Amino acid sequence: MRATQPPAPPPSNPQLRPGKTLVLVGLMGAGKSCIGKRLAQHFALSFVDADQEIERAAGCTIADIFERHGEAHFRDGERRVIARLLEQPPHVLSTGGGAFMDARTRGKIRERAISIWLRADLELLLRRTARRANRPLLNNGDRRATLARLMEARYPVYAEADIVIDSNDAPPEVTVERVIEALERFLGPEREERPGKVREPAP
């Protein structure tokens, strides 16, 4: 008699997968990679970090690209790499803080993906960005002033994201759970397309 194989564990609820790439948007330190990796695990999707893909394509670090070629060159590469990634099958994509500021990138994300802004306040961003010194925009001068300026310029644009979630000091699993609930609301019970934006109330 043939031994019966135990059934393979089901992929984590594939019918509840969003069916589109989930793009994480937000300032440096908002938790895009941390939340993105966990979200990918939940939906059994792959996780891609756009900054790492840019570094791979360029063969050097982002800090080197800024230093050798300037920010405009970096932004060009960033736009091209994200456009390429958005052609790939659904996955979870963490983008660098400036990516969503590009109108063409925003347009492509809107067309092909679901965008999730991890909104964070200045104190949280300051604490989180203190841990790494590899962000060229934060390496000169006053980090508080730079982040405050970036918040002012970028938050009105990030607000165009499909889903807005407050990133706070709660454990990442709690934030991920809130993202999943917001996604369910965004997709609606019939999983119709774009029934409306979902945002948590401002703190």
Q: Which residues bind ligand S3P (CB under 6 A)?
A: 28, 32, 51, 62, 96-98, 135-137
In the complex with ligand S3P, the residue whose CB is nearer, 28 or 124, is 28
Name which of 179, 172, 177 is nearest 198 in CA terms.
Answer: 179
Query: What's the closest the beta carbon of residue 5 comes to ligand S3P, in angstroms?
Result: 43
In the complex with ligand S3P, the residue whose CB is nearer, 138 or 179, is 138
Query: What's the closest the beta carbon of residue 130 comes to ligand S3P, in angstroms?
Result: 13
Query: What's the closest the beta carbon of residue 70 comes to ligand S3P, in angstroms?
Result: 12
In the complex with ligand S3P, the residue whose CB is nearer, 56 or 185, is 56
Query: What's the closest the beta carbon of residue 176 comes to ligand S3P, in angstroms?
Result: 18
Give 198's strand partners. 163
In the complex with ligand S3P, the residue whose CB is nearer, 119 or 187, is 119
Those residues with Cβ within 8 angstroms of residue 18's Cβ, 6 or more apart along the chain or in another chain: 43, 90, 114, 183, 187
In the complex with ligand S3P, the residue whose CB is nearer, 18 or 97, is 97
Query: What's the closest the beta carbon of residue 181 comes to ligand S3P, in angstroms?
Result: 24
For residues 162 and 194, what is the distance between their CA atoms, to the nearest angstrom?
A: 8
Spell 168-182 as b/e; 16+ CB within 10 A means b: eeeeeeebbebbeeb
For residues 20 and 173, what is the distance between their CA atoms, to the nearest angstrom?
A: 22
Which residue is nearest to ligand S3P, using beta carbons? 96
Give 117's strand partners. 25, 164
Sheet holding 163-166, edge to edge: 47-49, 92-94, 21-25, 113-119, 163-166, 198-199
